[in-house]
Structure formats: structure tokens, C-alpha cells
């Protein structure tokens, strides 16, 4: 198999695996307390990655200050965003969560407007944002009788998008030491520890009991979602252009919608399909406008 063929295999893996994590989270929170469920997942996954880094003699951060900077990213991406997603999926369908999270590139582009030196949104980019948020608006009107509860869940997901965007923008503008694999291990372990502490403070320990489906979902998220999924993505961004590798985000919601319908019998209405198309088209327009802007900036050099 040629290198590019392994790249395609890694891309397919990321599309399917990360699209399936929404289903696994939904199954897990049906029987397990949310913060301990998410926290234990990342503590174990992070510990395995750090052990691997140690055995392979990969570079670790050079100081406590470096560990703190890496941990900040983990707090926003995992403790913040993932916790909000887990709680939200106690209220909304996994497919709905995946669709709203597809807006992540739009939130990142919007946040960059307020950061010194951040890329500015073009007219086409603003159009893409409007299209994407119109899609969310249509999605919010498809909740039926459970609209109030759905709205709370959707707001939590949107706040999760904001948390992920803050972490992403901070990460993009910060220099870290250590291997990227080690950094991911630190992020997971620290973020998972924070989630577990929150769960213990909220009294989740008494609710944490063995459940086959819950533990099965956790095991899947640790081994498949975190370890294989992240490994595939790290390999992918090293053999494919980042703009091409990032298109997995357009496939994940489709995979999540299909699995939610196939496994949990979550309804897929016409409004959901329309909103999915608008959200993905809006994100595509924003991403395309950012790529064109970068090309224009490099033409003068």
C-alpha cells in the first residue's frame, strides 16, 4: 500500500470513528453520570498515550509552565466543550449535537475577529456564517413537543462550540514544547482529571455503577474514539494538506445522523436534512473564503 493509500484509510477512519463518538456518548450518558463518564474516559486514554510517549522516548514538555499552557488547551477543548456535549446529549439526539458542532469552523472564524492579528472574514465568509446559523435556526424549530428541553441542549452545544473555538485559537497562537502525541496525552489526562473532580463534587460517585452498555460505550470511546481516532488524525495531517484533512468535519455529522437513526432510531425529519445542508454549506463557504484569503496574502511574496 502506498503512503497516499494509508492517508485515505486514515481519513476514512477519522470520518467514521469521530462520527460514531456522538452515538457512543448518547448511549453512555443514558446509564452513567456525565462528568465521571467523560472524565474516566480521558484519564485512561491520556495515561495510555503518556505511557506510550515515555516508552517511545518522545519529547515531554520542558517545564511546569509548558504543562500549564498545554493544560489550558485541554481545559477548553475537553473539560469545557466535551463536558457540555455530554450534558447536552442527555437532552438532545446525538445527530442534533453533531450537526451543531459542525459549526466549529464558523465559531473559530468569528472569534478570530476579536484577536489581534487574526484573519478577517470576507463578505462571502459572512454569507456563509448567516447560512450556517439559519440552518441551526431551522434545526431548533424541528424539536416538536420537546422544544424547550431541546433548546437548552442546543444552547449547551453552542457554548461547547465557543469553548472549543477559544481553545483552538489559543493553541494556534501559542508555542508548545514536547511531541504533539505527548501534548495530546497531557490534554486528555488533565482535562479528564478536572471532569472527574467536578463529578465527585456533584456527588456522581454514588450514581456510578456498572452497566454493560455504559461501560461498553466508555471502552469504545477510549480505545476507538480517543486512541485510534486521534492516532489516525495525527497521521493524516502529516501526509495530507490540513485543508484537505479537515474536510472530515463535513462527513462526521452525516455519519452521526445515520448511526443515530440506525442504532437508536432517532428521527430524521425533512427539516433536519434541510438544516444539515445549510449548516454544511455555510461552513464550506467560510472555509473556502479563509483559504482564498491565505492564497491572496501569499501571492505578494
Confidence at residue 299, expressed as pLDDT on a 0 to 100 scale: 39
Identify how many contiguous H helices and E strands the chain contains and give both numbers: 14, 0
Q: How far apart are CA 5 and CA 2, in angstroms?
A: 5
Report if residue 34 sits inside a domain.
yes
Structural domains in the chain (count): 1
Report if residue 90 sits inside a domain.
yes
**Segments of the chain with pLDDT less than 50:** 1-3, 144-148, 295-301
Confidence at residue 122, expressed as pLDDT on a 0 to 100 scale: 82
Report if residue 298 sits inside a domain.
no
Confidence at residue 26, expressed as pLDDT on a 0 to 100 scale: 95
Confidence at residue 40, expressed as pLDDT on a 0 to 100 scale: 97
- For residues 18-43, one letter each, b for 16 or more C-beta atoms within 10 angstroms of the residue's C-beta and e for the rest, the string is bbbbbbbbbbbbebbbbbbbbbbbbb
Confidence at residue 243, expressed as pLDDT on a 0 to 100 scale: 65
Q: How far apart are CA 126 and CA 289, in angstroms?
A: 9
Report if residue 286 sits inside a domain.
yes
Report if residue 300 sits inside a domain.
no
Report if residue 299 sits inside a domain.
no
Report if residue 225 sits inside a domain.
yes
Confidence at residue 294, expressed as pLDDT on a 0 to 100 scale: 53
Q: What is the pTM of this model?
A: 0.86
* Structural domain containing residue 114: 3-293
Amino acid at each position: 500500500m502506498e503512503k497516499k493509500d494509508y492517508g485515505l484509510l486514515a481519513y476514512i477512519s477519522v470520518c467514521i470513528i469521530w462520527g460514531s463518538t456522538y452515538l457512543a456518548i448518547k448511549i453512555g450518558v443514558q446509564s452513567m453520570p456525565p462528568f465521571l463518564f467523560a472524565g474516566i474516559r480521558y484519564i485512561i486514554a491520556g495515561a495510555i498515550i503518556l505511557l506510550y510517549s515515555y516508552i517511545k522516548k518522545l519529547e515531554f514538555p520542558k517545564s511546569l509552565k509548558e504543562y500549564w499552557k498545554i493544560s489550558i488547551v485541554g481545559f477548553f477543548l475537553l473539560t469545557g466543550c466535551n463536558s457540555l456535549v455530554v450534558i447536552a446529549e442527555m437532552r438532545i439526539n446525538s445527530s442534533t449535537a453533531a450537526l451543531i458542532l459542525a459549526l466549529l469552523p464558523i465559531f473559530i472564524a468569528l472569534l478570530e475577529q476579536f484577536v489581534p492579528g487574526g484573519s478577517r472574514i470576507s463578505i462571502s465568509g459572512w454569507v456563509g456564517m448567516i447560512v450556517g446559523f439559519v440552518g441551526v435556526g431551522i434545526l431548533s424549530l424541528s424539536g416538536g413537543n420537546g422544544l424547550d428541553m431541546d433548546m437548552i441542549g442546543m444552547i449547551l452545544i453552542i457554548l461547547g462550540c465557543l469553548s472549543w473555538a477559544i481553545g483552538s485559537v489559543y493553541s494556534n497562537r501559542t508555542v508548545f514544547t514536547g511531541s504533539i502525541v505527548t501534548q495530546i496525552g497531557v490534554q486528555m489526562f488533565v482535562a479528564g482529571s478536572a471532569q472527574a473532580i467536578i463529578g465527585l463534587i456533584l456527588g456522581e460517585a454514588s450514581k456510578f455503577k456498572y452497566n454493560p452498555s455504559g461501560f461498553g460505550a466508555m471502552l469504545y470511546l477510549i480505545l476507538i474514539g480517543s486512541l485510534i481516532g486521534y492516532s489516525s488524525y495525527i497521521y493524516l495531517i502529516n501526509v495530507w494538506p490540513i485543508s484537505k484533512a479537515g474536510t472530515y468535519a463535513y462527513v462526521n455529522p452525516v455519519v452521526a445522523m445515520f448511526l443515530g437513526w440506525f442504532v437508536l432510531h432517532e428521527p430524521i425529519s425533512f427539516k433536519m436534512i434541510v438544516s444539515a445542508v445549510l449548516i454544511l454549506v455555510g461552513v464550506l463557504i467560510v472555509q473556502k473564503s479563509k483559504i482564498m484569503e491565505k492564497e491572496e496574502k501569499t501571492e505578494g511574496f
